[in-house]
Each structure stands twice: as structure tokens, then as C-alpha cells.
Structure 1
Amino acid sequence: MNIDDHAEELASDLGVDKEEVKADLQNLVEYSVPVDEAKQSVRRKYGGDSGGGSSGPTSADIADVTPESGNVTVTAVVLTVGERSIFYNGSEHVIHEGELADETGKISYTAWEDFGLEAGDVVTIGNASVREYEGEPELNFGESSTVQPADEDLSVPYEVGGDRDLTDLEPGDRGRNVEAKVVEVEERTIDGRHGETQILSGVLADETARLPFTDWDPHAELAEGASVRLEDVYVRQFRGVPSVNVSEFSTVDLLDREVETSGPQRMNVVEAVDRGGAYDVEVVGNVIEVRDGSGLIERCPECGRVIQKGQCRTHGEVDGEDDLRVKAIVDDGTATVTAILDRETTETVYGGTLEDALEQARAAMDTEVVADTIRDRIVGHEYRVRGHLSVDDYGANLEATDFRPTSDDPAARAEAFLEEVEA
């Protein structure tokens, strides 16, 4: 049955105008409410039987809410509140989003209407639908829902409000506030929803971490070296790490003090992998292998991907462009990571330029001699590797921004470690 048929059936049962019912149904379906649940909601609105033998949505603890819960009623504390414009079903929508919590757990929410929510409010939300978002349940509520102050106080084991350090941000966070220093920024032109669009991208830093950011509505305050407070930002995943997103609804204010920053996050490999990735991280370990695909390679001139036998996976047969790279497996005793070195860093460890590598390969009539030279130079030695670590189905990769031999005295480091353990 299509929406017209469902609307006609409901209008006949309820004795109300079909067009009104159709508008209500269409609105709920556009908000991703399943048709059967939308019909029950419309029946309740007009005072009819829900058809399921129930007088309304089930009251639920947040810990028990799943994408299969249907429509629910929850009583919760509003942890965070954010506002954002999205493109949905062919048009722009302003949504309100954040996190809710009760004594049993917390959950993300999207409100399709402005209910005036503020962090710290305790509310009862009736007739909220549940959908799956990025693998987790999310509450959705709009004009067919009710939001009222609760008759009870709730004490929840979660921080109320959006203020966070950069290291505490996670993909999916909404309504967050951070204070940070802009350490890198550039203006870029992208092909956006409305054609060519100017955005800012760069890197933010505080004492705890460094993270990439994108400003979709460029704020002049985000200048290199500026210390700023950003309110109502949301967090997405970019190359396996959290990325701060600044929107037209975000506020950016200059601080009257300088935010202190730190260098890269020093951690062991297993810690970085368990986090699902890390931006500007530093690990120390031994190079135990240089993988195939290192040394002299060819890239597609269109997309930059490595090609095999003149074939690009996307653009087919192409005339490849020569390049150098290294894929080195680094082991720090807790786990391994593949450090990927670009041409400039590879030339440093190789001890020559791309032209030198091409000349060596021509003389030997074998491109593999370049990779062999690199293996002889770095395998078995300890390196300090700095870069951006991501994790996917194929393992952990560290795009190196710095790769250099350690100058630490191993014996002194071992003694320091033992002192720390004994303390």
C-alpha cells in the first residue's frame, strides 16, 4: 500500500479528513518512522485505537532501547544540545541534536522541531521513534512527539554540558564546546550542495591532543595562531580519527589568553589501535620488515592511487607517474603498525632522490633494488615515528609525518621504565 491507501484507510476508520491524515503520515515517514508505527501514532493523535492493544508507546530505560524498540517514552537528563542544518529528502532541515541520559545509560537524539531543550533539563519525551545511526540506537522526535518537564529529578553518572578536551572527543559527538589553538589553517574550495563553496580546514590543538577541523561556514576568528573557544561543534570520523566540524550554528570567540598546546601524543601501538586511530601520534619501535609495494612505484595521474602493470582500479590503463614510498612494519612490543612514508621521507631513508632511484633501477634493470637498498638501511633499527594512525579491516596504518632513528640510550630508558614500575 502507498501513503494514499494508508491515509484513506485511516481516515475512514477515524472519521477525519483524509488530507490531514495523509499530511501527518507523510511527515512521520519522512522522519524515518516505519509506516506501521506512523499509522499507530496517527491513530493516537485522533483518539483512535492504536491497533496493537496498547494505549501508547512503551516507557523504557535508555539501556533497554534498541533500533527494534519501535516508539518509546523515556525520562532523561539532557546532557548536550546542538543545532545543525542537514540536507534531507531533497531540502534543508534544521535539526536539534545531542545526548540524553538516565541512570541506566545514555543515547544520542535528533529533534526535528525546536523543543527549547537546554543542558541539565529533566524531561519526559513521549512517542519518540528509534533508528540505528552509525551502529547505535538514536532517538528521533518531532511534531508527533511530546516533550514535557519531568516530575522527578534524575542523578546520572555522566557529565552535563558540552565542554570537552580534544582528547575526549569521539565521532558522533554533538553539541560539544572546546577551547583550542589554531595551529594550521587553509582556505579551500569544494563542490558543495550549492556549487562551489569556500571552507576552512586545518588543525586544532590543546594540552591533550591535536585534531583536524573543518569550518563549513568560515569564521574569521579561525586564523593561524589564534586561541579560540568553539561552541556547538560536532564530531565526525576522518581517516580513522575524530574531526571537529564547525557549522553556521557554531560560535567562535577569541580568548584573551593563549591555549597551551603539546606535541604529538606519545603512546604505544596497541593503545592507539584500541582507540580506533589517533591524530598526530608518536610511537617508538623497531622496523621488522619493509613490505612489498615499497621503493619505486607508479601512481595514477588522475587519482594518485598506486597502479599495477599500468592499470588503475578506477581509471583503467594509464601512463603512470614515478614515485617513491616505504611501507615499513614497526613493532614496539605491544603490537605492530605499518608506517607509510611519502616521497620526501623515503628519499631521506633511501639516501637519494627519485632520480637517483630511477638511475639505480635502470642500471640493475630491476626496480626492486631500490626497495632492497631501503631494507638494508632500516630493517632491524629502532625509529621514532610521528603521524596519523588509522585502523581498518586490513590493519593499522600510520601515515608518517616524521620518521627518524631514536637517539635514546636503551639502557637508560630501561632503567627509567623499571623505576616507574617500582614506583
Structure 2
Amino acid sequence: MSLDDAAEELASSLGVDKTEVKADLEKLVSYSVPMDEAKQSLRRKYGDAGGGDGGEAPSRTDVADVTPESGNVTVTARVLTVGKRSIRYEGEDQVIFEGELADETGGISYTAWTDFSLSPGDTITAGNAGVREWDGEPELNLGQSTTVTLEEEPLSVPHEIGGERDLIDLEPGDRGRTLEVRVLEVEERIIDGRDGETEIKSGVVGDETTRLPFTDWDPHGAITEGASVRLENVYVDEFRGVPSVNVTEFSTVEPATEVRVSDSGTELSVREAVAAGGVYDAVLTGNVIEVRDGSGLIQRCPECGRVVQNDQCRSHGQVDPEDDMRIKAILDDGTDTVTVILGRELTEEIYGGTLEDALDHARDAMDRDVIAEEIAETLEGREFSVRGALSVDEYGANLDATAFEESDEDPKARAETFLTEAEP
């Protein structure tokens, strides 16, 4: 539907001037608001209390048949999860309710712009629900023009009802999740938020399955280092390619019985880790086949910490750089490769001396590259086990190492296992 047709339709159903409606619609669309959302927003603005476009309610649709091109639909589904949070929409704070619905054919996420008093386990019929595309998938929008009816007969669905999950099962886009975790690291800091300077907490939480980063946008007193807590109504987004837990003003944070946290990371092949799109606490084992340029002695901008060349920072221009050490190595396990990045502390351990020792060595040799050359001789061709946070982006897969040690696995046994698994 063209913008002009949409404005004509809205003006007719709302009983307002088309020119005014079209101007508002053009403004919303120019801000990349999907057409269906823009139309619903204008219905709210002009006080439409009716049934959307003024026609009959759309016929019932199976969840599996809903697509971003479906327009408005009517679905009967079971409420799997319900989350609540505040977003900034059209310059104003808006409380939304969000989660997942499912019927016998499949599941779909939803956002409700009105409080329909949904609860996990409810079976509902949502009439005249809008559909938009979100992260490449269809999502239902339950707005003011949507009718929600509670059904007496519960719908049987092949999906878990309720938001309780282990950390390993979380994915970006999850809403209304409930977790029991231990706070492993936490720091308080001030950021520039949507309303100016905002105090938040951030850090790392863990359970028996894995560890993940978190942000508490409305600092809760119970979130302290070492505390075991139950977090209800959290949502999950992506941070450097891995799921990140978000606690909000609508989240419930309560003490929990002590949560056991595994001391080991998630052991994966490089191929599995890369295919996952990011793993916060991965353990990869393979051979270092190359120590890349940019290893050994490097220099960083004192303002932003970026690596500089010839005293020039891309963001701050001419600077007085600070010396540092790092290693960028290619790890290959036979399934794929990943770039492993080791910071100063691990690099000093491998080099066998401090930054100051390396600087003295380079001055004596009159060559800063001598440090990287020695490191390459130490690492290349040997097998190592690396633990850290793996992220995947358009530049490739990178693992920021927190632990790096020579593998004690039997190469022959591992090769036999690999060949066995590869057999058809």
C-alpha cells in the first residue's frame, strides 16, 4: 500500500483531514517506523477506539502462516512468556509488554502496546493484530485496534510455557525470561543515557551451564558480587556477538539459594563456536599456525586505547602514545580458524618478561619487531587450549583470551575421535 493510499484510508476511517494525516504518516515513515506501526500510532493519536481499518476482522491464521507481508491477522495461541519494559518511542517513554505466543503450528514473538493483562499459560484469540518484521522474522503487534479474548479451553502446544531458562539456552531477542544466577563480577558506572547521565551496574553472571554479561539499568541492591539471585522479567540482547542479560525497573530481583557455577567454559570446536555467532565463555583447542602482524610491542592512544601507527590515532589525530603488548594468533583445529587475541598479562607470560623487559630488549636490538619474532617462535606449530569470549562479525571470528595454555590432550586420540565423528 502506498503512503497516499494509507493516508486516504486512515483519514476516511478516523474522520480527519487527509493532508494532516499524510504529513504525520510521512514523518513517522521517514524515521523508519514500519507502516503498520505508523498507522496504529496515528489511530492512537486521533482517538480511534474502533476496530482498525473499519472493515471486518481478518480471518483466523495459523502462526506458521504469518509472514511480514500478512498485514493484520487473527490468531488463537497460547501465551508462553510475558515481559514488561520501557522504551523511547516517538520521543516519549512507552511501556510495552512482549514475549512469545504459540499454537500447534509454531511460535511467534509479540509486542503489546496496551496492557492486555496477559499471563504465561493463557490461551487467547488476538483479533486484528498487526504484523511487522523484526530481526528478519514476523512479529505480532497488539495495539489499540487489537481485540484480545481469553479462551476457556487451553490450547495444547509443543512449547515450554514460562520464562525460566538456563544461561546456555538464552538467545538475543528473548523477553520475559527468569534466571537463577550468581553474580561473578559487577561494577557501578555512569553512562550517557537517553535522559542524560545514568547510573547502571554491569558485569558477569553465571550458572552451571555458562557465563554471560549483564546490565542492570535500574541498579538493584541485591545485585552484588558473589550474590545468588533470582531475576524475573529480564530481556536479552546482543553484546559483541553474544547474548547479554538486561535487568530493568520492571524486573524482580530476589535472593536465591546458592547457585553453583561451573569452573569450566563451554568446550567447542572452532566451527561450532563460529556457527553459534558468538560464545561468551568458550574453550577452543587447536594449533597456532601464525602469529599475525600487530603482535608483540604495540602503541595505543592514551585517550581511547586504540592501536596507533606513527603516533596517529584515527579518532584523536596526533597523540603521545603509550606502550603495550599483545598477541594476535591464528588458531586452527581442523574444522575452522579463529583469531585469538591475548592482552598484556598473557603476552608477558608467553614472552617470559614484562613490558619494560621487552622495551629494553627492543632497544638493545634496535628493532621492535624482535619481540613478535620471539613470540612466534614460541607459539607457531604448537597446540594450545584457549578460553575466552568469542565474537563473530563482518571482519571474522575473534576470541579475546582470558586463559591460554599448552594443551595436554593426546593428539593421536583427538585425531581418532575427529575421524570417527567425521565418518558418514
TM-score class normalised by the smaller sequence: 0.7 to 0.9
Alignment of 1:68-217 (within 5 A): 68-150=69-151, 153-217=154-218
What is the Cα deviation at residue 238 of structure 1?
A: 0.7
Matched, 1:357 2:358: yes
Matches of 2:118 and 2:102, distance apart in 1 = 14
What is the Cα deviation at residue 16 of structure 1?
A: 4.5
- Taking only aligned residues, the RMSD between alpha carbons, in angstroms, comes to 3.4
**Structure 1 pair 47–191 and aligned structure 2 pair: CA distance change class (3 A):** closer
- TM-score, normalization by structure 2: 0.87
What is the Cα deviation at residue 236 of structure 1?
A: 0.8
Alignment of 1:9-408 (within 5 A): 13=12, 16=15, 32-34=34-36, 55-150=56-151, 153-255=154-256, 257-263=257-263, 264-408=265-409
Contact 1:58 1:71 in 2 (8 A): no
Q: Which amino acid aligns with 1:89?
A: E
Matches of 2:109 and 2:188, distance apart in 1 = 32
Contact 1:37 1:71 in 2 (8 A): no
What is the Cα deviation at residue 313 of structure 1?
A: 2.4
Q: Which amino acid aligns with 1:337?
A: V
Name the SS of the counterpart of 2:305 in structure 1. coil
What is the Cα deviation at residue 139 of structure 1?
A: 1.2
Name the SS of the counterpart of 1:59 in structure 2. coil
**Structure 1 pair 184–385 and aligned structure 2 pair: CA distance change class (3 A):** same
Matches of 1:349 and 1:404, distance apart in 2 = 9
What is the Cα deviation at residue 193 of structure 1?
A: 2.1
Contact 2:10 2:39 in 1 (8 A): no
Matches of 1:288 and 1:388, distance apart in 2 = 20
Contact 1:80 1:160 in 2 (8 A): yes
Matches of 1:18 and 1:420, distance apart in 2 = 68
What is the Cα deviation at residue 410 of structure 1?
A: 4.2
Matches of 1:49 and 1:344, distance apart in 2 = 63
**Structure 1 pair 332–250 and aligned structure 2 pair: CA distance change class (3 A):** same
**Structure 1 pair 246–104 and aligned structure 2 pair: CA distance change class (3 A):** same
Name the SS of the counterpart of 1:356 in structure 2. helix
Name the SS of the counterpart of 1:339 in structure 2. strand
Contact 1:298 1:323 in 2 (8 A): yes
**Structure 1 pair 397–14 and aligned structure 2 pair: CA distance change class (3 A):** closer
Contact 1:350 1:373 in 2 (8 A): yes
Matches of 1:197 and 1:290, distance apart in 2 = 41
Matches of 1:358 and 1:214, distance apart in 2 = 38
Matches of 1:342 and 1:185, distance apart in 2 = 21
Mean alpha-carbon deviation: is it higher for 70-79 or for 54-63? 54-63
What is the Cα deviation at residue 205 of structure 1?
A: 1.0
Matches of 1:114 and 1:183, distance apart in 2 = 35
Matches of 1:48 and 1:232, distance apart in 2 = 30
Q: Which amino acid aligns with 1:215?
A: D
Matches of 2:91 and 2:51, distance apart in 1 = 33
Q: Which amino acid aligns with 1:351?
A: G
Aligned residues: 412
Contact 2:79 2:124 in 1 (8 A): yes
Mean alpha-carbon deviation: is it higher for 299-308 or for 234-243? 299-308
Matches of 2:13 and 2:407, distance apart in 1 = 77
Matches of 1:285 and 1:46, distance apart in 2 = 63
Contact 1:187 1:199 in 2 (8 A): yes
What is the Cα deviation at residue 398 of structure 1?
A: 0.5
Matches of 1:296 and 1:201, distance apart in 2 = 31
Matches of 2:326 and 2:142, distance apart in 1 = 50
What is the Cα deviation at residue 408 of structure 1?
A: 4.0
Matches of 2:352 and 2:53, distance apart in 1 = 79
Q: Which amino acid aligns with 2:68?
A: P
Matches of 2:81 and 2:3, distance apart in 1 = 38
**Structure 1 pair 89–362 and aligned structure 2 pair: CA distance change class (3 A):** same
Matches of 2:51 and 2:281, distance apart in 1 = 58
Mean alpha-carbon deviation: is it higher for 330-339 or for 368-377? 330-339
Matches of 2:148 and 2:7, distance apart in 1 = 27
Q: Which amino acid aligns with 2:406?
A: P
Contact 2:212 2:244 in 1 (8 A): yes
Contact 1:37 1:70 in 2 (8 A): no
What is the Cα deviation at residue 18 of structure 1?
A: 5.8
**Structure 1 pair 10–161 and aligned structure 2 pair: CA distance change class (3 A):** closer
**Structure 1 pair 276–33 and aligned structure 2 pair: CA distance change class (3 A):** same
What is the Cα deviation at residue 134 of structure 1?
A: 2.2
Matches of 2:14 and 2:218, distance apart in 1 = 49
Matches of 1:178 and 1:14, distance apart in 2 = 45
Name the SS of the counterpart of 1:80 in structure 2. coil
Name the SS of the counterpart of 1:75 in structure 2. strand
Matches of 1:295 and 1:245, distance apart in 2 = 37
Contact 2:51 2:145 in 1 (8 A): no
Contact 1:60 1:74 in 2 (8 A): yes
Contact 2:229 2:253 in 1 (8 A): yes
Contact 2:51 2:128 in 1 (8 A): no
Q: Which amino acid aligns with 1:202?
A: G
Mean alpha-carbon deviation: is it higher for 358-367 or for 158-167? 358-367
Name the SS of the counterpart of 1:76 in structure 2. strand
Matches of 1:244 and 1:91, distance apart in 2 = 24
Name the SS of the counterpart of 1:345 in structure 2. helix
1:36-60 CA distances to partner (integer Å, 9 max, x unpaired)? 9659999x9768986xxx7343532
Contact 1:14 1:46 in 2 (8 A): no
Name the SS of the counterpart of 2:80 in structure 1. strand
- Runs of 5+ in structure 1 lacking a partner? none
